[in-house]
Structure 1
Amino acid sequence: MKKTILTIAIAVMGFTAAFAQDTTKRHHMQMSKMSKLTAEQRAEKATAAMDKKLSLTADQKAKVYAVELDRAKKMETWRSADRDAMKGKMKDRKADMDASKKQLDQILTADQKTKLDAFRAEAKEKMKNMKPRQRDGQGRKSKPPVVSNPPAQG
């Protein structure tokens, strides 16, 4: 009887540990899929998301796609640069991002700008609430949990 209970307890702990690790793998897979997209695919995806949220006109879609494509190509070059060069040029990168935001603001109507600012603020708030490991997006594995009472051997 004791062996049966112990076997069931070990199986439950094993299943719990296996399912607990599933979410990190799923998040890592999503990040790796995003990194494999081309600049055109990224721009298309961003334009579709903005169209869904802001109900863009056909003319606005074309202009937003052009801005997003330009941004995606710049981001691709930033990602391909080595880390030391990238750290030194953060001000340039920030200026490029601000310029593309200004271009988008010129394309959108006042109501659409308000909605977009609300979405940006919401995203910024979500980023603040994330744990640092989740925010870096590098796919780093977190440290294993510390077990205070490990099971007895034997």
Structure 2
Amino acid sequence: MKKLILTMAIAVMGFTAVFAQDSTKRAKRQMPKLTAEQRAEKTTGMMEKKLNLTADQKQKIYAIELDKAKKMDAFRTEDRAAIKGKMKDRKADLEKSKADLDKILTTDQKSKLDAFRAEAKEKGGKMRKGMGRGKQDKAPVVSNPPAQG
């Protein structure tokens, strides 16, 4: 009788351990490969919807975004050694395109865009932490340490 109970207990613990593992991992969704024109159109469309752009603003922003997307494509096709050396140039290009956008947008539109960028940055930071970068081995916190003596 004891062997039967012991066997049942071990079986229950084994099944619990097996089913406790997450077997429903989400498959990584493949992002479609967009051309520079498609990315510029997508970004411009998003800005038009969020910022209520005029037709003239939309046309100018599309030109800036298209230039930025083409430069990014060229930047990505370079080899790793060249990329590390050109990071400052890439940052300067991004700042220039941001400044060009600021010249086109009204102050209300700029504030909306800045709020949207801040929200996206925060969301991206949370996603990166969820990928394991934020998890570091830390010493366990002991709420009630043993008495010395």
Structure 1 residues 60 and 135: alpha-carbon distance in aligned structure 2, compared to 1, 3 A threshold? farther
Q: CA deviation at 1:98?
A: 0.3
**Structure with higher helix content:** 1
Q: Please name the residue that 2:105 is paired with.
A: 108
Instruction: For 1:89 and 1:10, locate their aligned partners in 2 and report how far apart those are by CA, in whole Å.
Output: 50
User: Which residue, 17, 22, 41 being the options, matches 1:17?
Assistant: 22
The sequence identity of aligned pairs, in percent, is 55
| 3-state SS of 1:17 partner | coil
* Cα RMSD, aligned residues only: 2.7
TM-score, L = length of structure 1: 0.69
Larger-Rg structure: 2
User: Which residue, 31, 38, 48 being the options, matches 1:51?
Assistant: 48
| 3-state SS of 1:125 partner | helix
Instruction: For 2:130 and 2:16, locate their aligned partners in 1 and report how far apart those are by CA, in whole Å.
Output: 31
Instruction: Indicate the structure whose relative CO is greater, using CA pairs within 8 Å and at least 6 residues apart.
Output: 1
Instruction: For 1:8 and 1:50, locate their aligned partners in 2 and report how far apart those are by CA, in whole Å.
Output: 52
Q: How many positions carry a matched residue from both structures?
A: 126
Structure 1 residues 133 and 84: alpha-carbon distance in aligned structure 2, compared to 1, 3 A threshold? farther
Letter in 2 for 1:98: E
Mark the runs of 5 or more structure 1 residues left unpaired by the alignment: 137-154
The list of structure 1 runs, each at least 4 consecutive aligned residues, that deviate by more than 4 angstroms after superposition, is 4-13, 132-136
Instruction: For 2:52 and 2:86, locate their aligned partners in 1 and report how far apart those are by CA, in whole Å.
Output: 35
Mark the runs of 5 or more structure 2 residues left unpaired by the alignment: 1-7, 134-149
Q: CA deviation at 1:128?
A: 3.0
Superposed CA deviations along residues 67-96 of structure 1, whole A, max 9, x for unmatched, are 000000000001111111101111000000
Letter in 1 for 2:61: V
